[in-house]
Amino acid sequence: MRKYAPNKFRSLTVAARCLALMLFFCKPALAALDIEITRGVVRTIPIAIAPFDVSNPNGPNDMARIIANDLNHSGQFQVMPQNRLPQQPHDADAISSDLWKTLGLDDLVIGRAVPTGSGQTKVDMTLLDLFHSTQSTPTILMQRSYTVANSQTRALAHHISDVIYEKLTGEKGVFSTRLAYVTVQPMPNNPRHKLYSLMVADVDGHNAKPLLTSTQPIMSPDWSPDGGSIAYVSFETKLPQIFTSDVATGRRRLISSFAGINGAPAFSPDGRSLAVALSMGRTNPNIYTIDLGSGRLTQLTNDAAINTEPSWAPDGQSLLFTSDRGGAPQIYRIDLGSLQAQRITYIGAYNASAAYLPGSSTKISLLHRDDRGFNIAIYDLQSGTMQTLTQGGSIESPSPAPNGRMIVYSTNVGGRRMLGMVSSNGQVNIRLPEVSGDAQAPAWSPYKG
């Protein structure tokens, strides 16, 4: 036995070597072919939202409609109209993927909203991926359950839009943020006089509530970075003054009441100060900052030109503002350390209302006038290019969303001012629901608003 052992061992090594050799020659045949995909198709995600309301699936307040509206308005989704849905399922196991796939959909949202009595509603939501596997049943990407007061179902719908948006695009949604804007309508009992209201509404224009009403103009609302208060200009004493109002309680605080113009308040990113335009009894305004804690005033610009519309850089170290010191309104940037102002825009004879686009330190949204009138444009500080997003020509007061994907504005429609939104690539442009009278000076809240 001992005699054969080495031979046996040798034959084993030979076998192993043969195997290794075979594997070596087999390997090239097993290597995967390389495919490089370098260019996709820029388009929105096709999605369907099945009705949530079991008892009244086609009601106007069905959460599915609110979600569909949100996603459609985001510029990132294409929501299939409800009347084209082949089924109205509420449960995932009742769904055949193939039926929905043939409609060209990527994803499907199903849910169920059932009143529990005692003024509450129980809501289940499921996000299904129709192309996550080869199975004929869809893959569940996300499943959530909520119980909310009946009055909160609309807010919950916006929240569900946010989680769907973030799951499918990788970015935070803005559907739970709010808009502040000013409405102007004739006084009910005296149509020759006007009534001004500072409104706060959901981002889809619904759920609008007045924060302040006045017989004199209200202008330039701006949100604090925590979304807790709004600064604005009120002419309630017939002279412009700057106030802040607490959004939850409505409590007001007078910030600036200097001689002449008190205008264009803008909260600093840390919320501790306001940049404002003050004329201090002269004919032209200059840019100042007011420390909200100490009330200390700091003058930033000092010349005879009109300097207004200050807007903070994300780092709080500089401001953009509009000035006609060069003869026509253009955007300038002033460094808070050196107080050196530098002209930013050179394209076009009129640029105003600048703001950094959130999520980008190189792009600013602004109001740009060219041969098509006043439109929203994105100016790229790096490339020096100006991209016009709208065509209307009567745009005012652009204010970007906190994720930088959409910009809200006011525009003239048939002699009335209305609110609209445009995606920051210009592909989606929508109107917000009509209000009575004019809607102007919109300001998009931060995330926590």
Which residues in this chain contact another protein in the complex, by CB under 8 A? 29-30, 32-45, 75-76, 106, 129, 131-134, 166-171, 405, 423-425, 427
CB of 269 to another protein, least distance (A): 22
Angle in degrees, CA 284, 374, 303, rounded to 5: 20
Structural Rg of the chain based on CA atoms: 29
CB of 32 to another protein, least distance (A): 4
Nearer to another protein, 107 or 438 (CB): 107
- The secondary element (H helix, E strand) that includes residue 39 is none
Six-digit token string for 410: 């006011």
Nearer to another protein, 198 or 401 (CB): 401
Characterize 11-34 residue by residue with b for buried, 16 or more Cβ atoms within 10 angstroms of its Cβ, and e for exposed: eeeeeeeeeeeeeeeeeeeeeeee
CB of 334 to another protein, least distance (A): 28
Nearer to another protein, 358 or 420 (CB): 358
Dihedrals phi, psi of 214, to nearest 5 degrees: -150, 155
Dihedrals phi, psi of 61, to nearest 5 degrees: -100, 10
Angle in degrees, CA 437, 441, 444, rounded to 5: 115
**Whose CA is closest to 97, among 58, 74, 128?**
128
Angle in degrees, CA 70, 75, 76, rounded to 5: 90
Nearer to another protein, 16 or 23 (CB): 23
**Whose CA is closest to 433, among 60, 59, 51, 43?**
60
Six-digit token string for 431: 């109107």
CB of 134 to another protein, least distance (A): 6
- Asked if residues 404 and 391 have their Cβ atoms less than 8 Å apart, the reply is no
- Asked if residues 374 and 366 have their Cβ atoms less than 8 Å apart, the reply is no
Nearer to another protein, 257 or 383 (CB): 383
Nearer to another protein, 166 or 324 (CB): 166
Nearer to another protein, 104 or 186 (CB): 104
